[in-house]
Amino acid sequence: MAEAGPETCLKELYARCLFDSAEFLCKSGIVNDSLVTVTNESLVISRARNLFYMKEYHQAYFLLECARGEQRYSYCTCCSSEKVFLRNYALYILSQIKSEAVSNFSVEGSQVTDKALDEGIRHSLRMQGKKKSFFDSPVFDDGYLVFLLFLSKREHLSSATLKKLLLYTVKKLPYFWEVCRMLSEIVTASNLEEVSGQVPDKPMRILFILYVGSKRSILHPSLKKLVKAEAFTDPVMTTDYAQSMIAGLASHYNYHEQAISIFEQIVAKGQIRDNLDLFTNVLFSTGEVEKLAALLLVVYTRYYNLPLYHYVSGNLLSLKANHISSIEQFQQILREDRPGEFDIAYVFVAQEYLRLKDTCSAIKACNVAIKKNYNDHRVWSNMAQIYYSIEMFEYALHFFRKSAELAPANFRIYEGLGQCFDKLKKSAEAARCYKKGAKEGNIRCISLLGDLLHRLKDPECTVFYKKYLEIGLAQKSAETKASFCFETAERFLELLEGQADAKEVASFRNRLSIQRHSTL
């Protein structure tokens, strides 16, 4: 199956009712034709697939059941791999609907306990272990059944074993997007290059890195080049799906105008709804109430019954300072007992509670966000901001450190770290953090570093005051424009009086006056 091309993989996905991954191959441009005919299919499998279309999973399970008895996952070679997959997949969906885990499973009629799962996989010959185990059964020659095994028993697997299984499966099924999506959940900034290198197909590898960057805000150095590229030669990069992820990346780099422009073109075409949540975030960040309201109308018309509507509505209500209604909208799409498409919205719920001065509820929501998005630096950073706001700086420092560990290239985190150290009277550590941010041109870090050095009576503070004014008045980036503060600039000019060259100070004052009038 590892040698199968994308067209063959598409047929396999449809045969197993894995419609999301099948749709991905079409919308990403990897497979041009989305019309698939599954040939040589038995009447039972055909009927079972029809039951899946109708969401009659209980009937599908009993239609495909190998031997009557207790409902449990059963892997056998007496049935076709498609039948085994659909039977167990139906049971998995039912367990998710009922929120009831199915204990244990059987392989070739022999029961395997959930406790023995992790060790059995790690020590199996298939995973280059030393002992023969249930995982060496021929039934697991089918990569889709390996996928279903760790999908249904994920909570019983260690992170190391899960990573091995994901890498094993992505090599066996290089065009199976669901595996890549799950793989993205365990990616961090430190292992992104190593993990992405394991994705064998080049277009899939590019899309994987784009997905990690746009959805998880883990920014690989090569991604900035993609954002700045004026044209693409690879057909995969020209699809609306890839462009939506590039727009998401642009928003993470604070190229908001570029992101909004790309998203508006995608919405106008109306062919996909992927990553419109990122579009919502951009409009929220830039305070575009009218555009966000227009997007909500589009989403209401096209996707009213989907979670995306509540997501956009929640952001719009927040922007209008209707925080209670915003929380209610987000809670419509969040379930603590199961993973969801918009689990990152727990962070927004936490922010809304914080605006309502309900710190306990904010911390509770952020704890759930961490549980569901453990490797996402944004949830840790938000928790840090909550603790910082209530002046629990030691706690805030812990969460900022974890955020920096997950996203060491994100200089905005060092601003928070520096402020925590500053409040804890650890000036040397604070200065070190501010300098990291200042090195990347973050004018907030530059101003904070200047003030810290001024309090320490270090004459080098004037260097950073001048740097703040120079970069801020140039306003070469949208982020600089948003972060620049006229009151701070005036204060720095007053402090520079008598310490810097009079002509230089006068020049800064003149430029500041022109800049102030141009914004009126």
Q: Read out DSSP for 476-520?
A: -SHHHHHH--HHHHHHHHHHHTTTS-HHHHHHHHHHHHHHHHHT-
How many whole angstroms separate alpha carbon 263 and alpha carbon 276?
A: 8
Q: Residue 405 pLDDT > 70, yes or no? A: yes
* Rounded mean pLDDT, 283-289: 91
Cα–Cα distance measured from residue 69 to residue 45, given in angstroms and rounded to the nearest whole number: 21
Answer whether residue 65 is part of any domain. Answer: no
pLDDT, averaged across the chain: 88
The mean per-residue pLDDT over the stretch 424-443 comes to 91
Residue-wise pLDDT tens digits, 133-156: 999 999 999 999 999 999 999 999
Q: Which residues, 6 or more positions from 119, have their beta carbon under 8 angstroms from its beta carbon?
A: none
pLDDT (average), residues 313-317? 95
d(CA 228, CA 1): 37
247 within some domain = yes
Mean pLDDT score, 265-286: 90
CA distances (Å), 272 to each of 92, 122, 302, in order?
A: 28, 40, 10
Q: How confident is the model at residue 38 (pLDDT cuts 50, 70, 90)?
A: low
- Concatenate the DSSP letters of all residues of 250-293 into one string: HHHTT-HHHHHHHHHHHHHHTS--TTHHHHHHHHHHTT-HHHHH
Asked whether the predicted pLDDT for residue 165 surpasses 80, the reply is yes
Is pLDDT of 272 > 90?
A: no
- 205 in any annotated domain: yes
**How many domains would you assign to the chain?**
1
Query: Does 241 fall in a domain?
Result: yes
Residue type, 82: E
Instruction: Choose the weakest-confidence range: 82-96, 180-194, 212-226, 231-245.
Output: 212-226
- Which residues pair with residue 107 across a beta bridge? 75, 110
Q: How confident is the model at residue 173 (pLDDT cuts 50, 70, 90)?
A: very high
Q: What is the pLDDT of residue 2?
A: 45
436-451 average pLDDT score:
88
Cα separation, 112 vs 105, whole angstroms: 5
The enclosing H or E element of 213 equals helix 202-216
Asked if 133 and 121 count as a contact pair (C-beta separation under 8 A), the reply is yes
Which residue, among 199, 201, 200, has the nearest Cα to 184 in the 3D structure?
Answer: 199
360: which residues sit within 8 A by CB, 6+ positions away?
none
Rg of the chain over Cα atoms, rounded to whole angstroms, equals 27
Amino acid at 218: I
Please give the distance of CA 124 from its chain centroid, rounded to a whole number.
32
Is 116 inside any structural domain? no
| pLDDT tens track for 475-508 | 766 666 767 888 888 888 888 887 778 888 888 8
For residue 88 the two structure tokens come to: 């167990």
Over pLDDT 70: what percentage of the chain?
94
Torsion over CA: 175, 226, 404, 338 (sign): negative
Whether 251 is covered by a domain: the verdict is yes
Q: Is residue 215 part of a domain?
A: yes
Domain holding 198, by residue range, is: 190-286
Helix (H) or strand (E) holding 111: strand 110-112
Closest CA to 420 of 448, 446, 379: 448
Query: Is pLDDT above 80 for 384?
Result: yes
User: Which tokens belong to 309?
Assistant: 């509507």
Domain membership of residue 380 (yes or no) is no
Which is it for the CA torsion 150, 151, 153, 154, positive or negative? positive
